[in-house]
Structure 1
Amino acid sequence: MSIKKKLGMGMATAALGLSLIGGGTYAYFSDTAEATGSFTNGTLDLGINKTTIVDISNLKPGDYMFRDFQLSNDGSLDMKQVLLNSSYEVIDANKDNGTEDFGDHIMVEYLYKVEGKENVVFRKTLSELKNNPIEVLKNVPAGKKQIKFTVQFKFLDNGEDQNKFQGDSLKLKWNFEAKQKDGEAR
């Protein structure tokens, strides 16, 4: 055998030996395990049984009216609080109200019933409520149905001339906003 063949054979043998040694270092046992998870969000769903709480015409100073409605927690999450956001628009029929706001003359006495007793939540004029959210409920559990409310509206008779409000109308909008309870470790 020539020296070239011996060298070539030696190199081939060395390469084969190295590949067997290298291949052997990659041989091992293995196993796998899989874990999954899921996240499902709850729902916050405030229900109300009426879209129009009050619709009165031919109102005069001293008139008052009671109206009922119900709120409910129709979602799967507990509510931390329910806020009332109140706004309104006055349509001045005779354009003679000047700087006076008809909302200053409509008093809201907001009552709600708890176990057969009426508790006053607040007593304010519509102008005091405007753009001033107020809490009407707190800690409402998921699935709580029929939280009954009674509200009294009164056109205040201030004993003065209120002729400037004749023919005026006020379009009231109440927006109830539910807030979720704070997050917690789970």
Structure 2
Amino acid sequence: MSLKKKMGAALLTTAMGAALIGGGTFALFTDAATNKNNTFSAGTLDINVSQTDIAWTNEDGSINVPFNNLAPGDKGELQFDVTNNGTLELRYDVSGGYSDDADATTPSFIQNKTGEDLVITVSRSIDGQNWTIVTPANEDDVVMAPNAVIKYKVNYSFPEAAGNTYQKAAGQYQLTFNAEQTRNN
């Protein structure tokens, strides 16, 4: 090997050695950490209607108040609870009301508002003690926190003055509770 090649190889070896020594003196300690608890989950919206008197809750969350076998002078009260079983605050409105099951041969319980008709009153209570009469068509934007319960009752009265035209009358009172989230809405 020529002197020139030997000198070049020696310089290259010296440079590589210096680079290794210099690189070793500039080494840093390193570490990494991961935050593993960044879990995201969506809340739930779950309004539930449950009866406390009789079984008349529908699968869609609405309730039917049946009026069967009534005689003039009958009165009664049916109660149910509306519960927010979800994790989000919600607001709901109520739709529905009286509907006839009548056909052309069956009279309606509500015929002509003469004072002989079936009288239905709906009331709401947050504490179960103080009741407010509500009209389902105007029962809008009732706000409920998660796990809150609001009580409802339906009072009915079939006046004694009801005449024979009400024999075989049929009908039902249906209420549907439509809920939506309150946050970001």
**TM-score relative to the length of structure 1:** 0.55
**Relative to structure 1, is the Cα distance of residues 61 and 120 closer, same or farther in structure 2, using a 3 angstrom cutoff?**
same
> 2 CA distance for matches of 1:88 and 1:110?
11
Paired with 1:174 and 1:47, the residues of 2 have a C-alpha distance of 12
**Which digits, 9 at most, give the CA deviation of each residue in 1:111-150, with x for residues without a partner?**
123553331122x7xxxx4xxx832733x333334x3211
Q: Could you report, residue by residue, the CA deviation over 1:82-113 in whole angstroms, capped at 9, with x for unpaired residues?
A: 32132787555228x9xxxx799787532123
Paired residues in the alignment total 165
Map residues 1-186 of structure 1 onto 2, 5 A cutoff.
Answer: 2-3=2-3, 5-6=5-6, 8-10=8-10, 12-13=12-13, 16-17=16-17, 19-20=19-20, 23-24=23-24, 27-36=27-36, 37-50=38-51, 52=56, 53-57=64-68, 66-77=77-88, 79-86=89-96, 93-94=103-104, 108-113=120-125, 114=127, 116-122=129-135, 129=137, 134-135=139-140, 137-138=142-143, 140-145=144-149, 147-152=150-155, 170=171, 173-182=174-183
Task: Quickly say closer, same or farther: Cα 1:153–1:115, change in 2 above 3 A.
Answer: closer
Question: Cα offset for 1:76?
Answer: 3.9
Q: 1:55 to 1:20 in 2, by over 3 A?
A: same
Alignment TM-score, normalising by the size of structure 2: 0.56
Q: Secondary structure at the match of 2:34?
A: coil
The percentage of counterpart residues that share the same residue type is 28
Q: What is the distance in 1 between the residues matched to 2:174 and 2:20? A: 84
- CA offset digits 1:43-82 (Å, max 9, x no partner): 43323223524112367999875432122233444x3423
Answer whether contact 1:92 1:167 (CA < 8 A) is retained: no
**Structure 2 gap segments, 5+ residues each:** 57-63, 160-164
Q: Give 2:183's aligned amino acid.
A: D
User: Separation in 2 of the partners of 1:41 and 1:119?
Assistant: 34
SS at match of 2:103: coil
Q: Is the 8 A contact 1:82 1:135 kept in 2?
A: yes
Q: Structure 1 or 2: larger strand share? A: 1
Unpaired runs of 5+ residues, structure 1, are: 157-162
- In the alignment, is the contact (CA less than 8 A) between 1:93 and 1:167 conserved in 2? no
